[in-house]
Amino acid sequence: MCTGLAYTNDTFYFGRNLDLEYSLNNKVVVTPRNFPFKLRKEEELSSHYSIIGMAMVVDNYPLYFDAVNEKGLGMGGLNFDGFAVYHDEQKGKKNITPFEFILYLLGKCATVQEAKTLLKDINLINISFSEKLQLSPLHWLISDKDSSIVVESTSEGLQVYDNQFGVLTNNPSFPYHKYNMSNYLNLTANIPENRLSSKVDLAVYSRGMGAIGLPGDLSSPSRFVRAAYARLNSVADKTEQANVSQFFHILDFVAQPRGGAMAPEGIYEITQYSSCVSVEEQTYYYKTYENSQICAVSMQNLPLDSTDLFVYELEKEQAIHYTN
């Protein structure tokens, strides 16, 4: 289970929580402009936008979980188990595998509008990376500084939805999440008023009572509501440090501690990592379950016309500073 987030406060940020019961061998990876993207059914992309994000690197191929390109378009895949359907090849379509999808879209598109145009021709096909690495059932949050969309490949084909909330979690499908938000239209960050009846005198006795009814469980629909509430009511200074801090606080609002949600194998799902990409600074910020300190990798000074990947191991050891 996961939560994706797009956030604009003068400048644009994109990231997510990756919630899983097991750790993946993921790293921060920068794909430069001339790294050859070899596609299973389409022509190789030998030149494209540079990309920074979190990925597994297998056979020198970056399998991105979430990423942002140099133009400021962000994309992340989130679990969509039981709903995602990938298809056979179709003539007249761009037949892209789900593991190529982030690379392909971010390599070619600078904005959400460009992505929406390209998506009209895309068919996500049922071809796995390898016998050992089968396809994950996913849907995707795609965002730039102005707008967000959700892409879902279902039995009816590729569905594209405008997403005014700027967040995404997991199944059910996005139309359910959008409809479900109407159940919470009375939530407010303000001091609530007595709307029960003018016949009784009711007093506010605590701060935060306007959010009574905000769901607190870890299910996908509840995390969607919590993330949307936090994002849409966010207030932060318009500095890099303040925005990055606020972004991680929003993700913390829906993070999963060990022991809160058991997976079928009898182990617990946790937030393996949280990420935040600053488009203006071209920097990938992250923290892991083991290390709550914010770490960063920047591609500002890298030779982005290179043909080789830049791969960075995660800092997982907790850094605790003592004051005597």
The residues carrying an active-site annotation are 2
For CA atoms 223, 229, 232, 233, give the dihedral sign.
negative
> How far, CA to CA in Å, does 291 sit from each of 90, 274, 318, 319?
45, 11, 4, 7
Residue whose pair of structure tokens reads 């030779």 in the numeric block:
303
Contact 19, 74 (CB under 8 A): no
The alpha carbon torsion through 215, 216, 221, 223 (nearest 10 deg) reads: 120
Q: State the greatest distance between any 2 C-alpha atoms of the chain, in Å, as a whole number.
A: 73
CA atoms within 13 A on the CB side of 169: 23
User: How far apart are the C-alpha atoms of 111 and 113, rounded to whole Å?
Assistant: 5
User: How far apart are the C-alpha atoms of 220 and 208, rounded to whole Å?
Assistant: 23
Contact 271, 281 (CB under 8 A): no
Three-point CA angle 225, 227, 232, nearest 5°: 95
Contact 84, 124 (CB under 8 A): no
Structure letter (DSSP) for residue 205: -
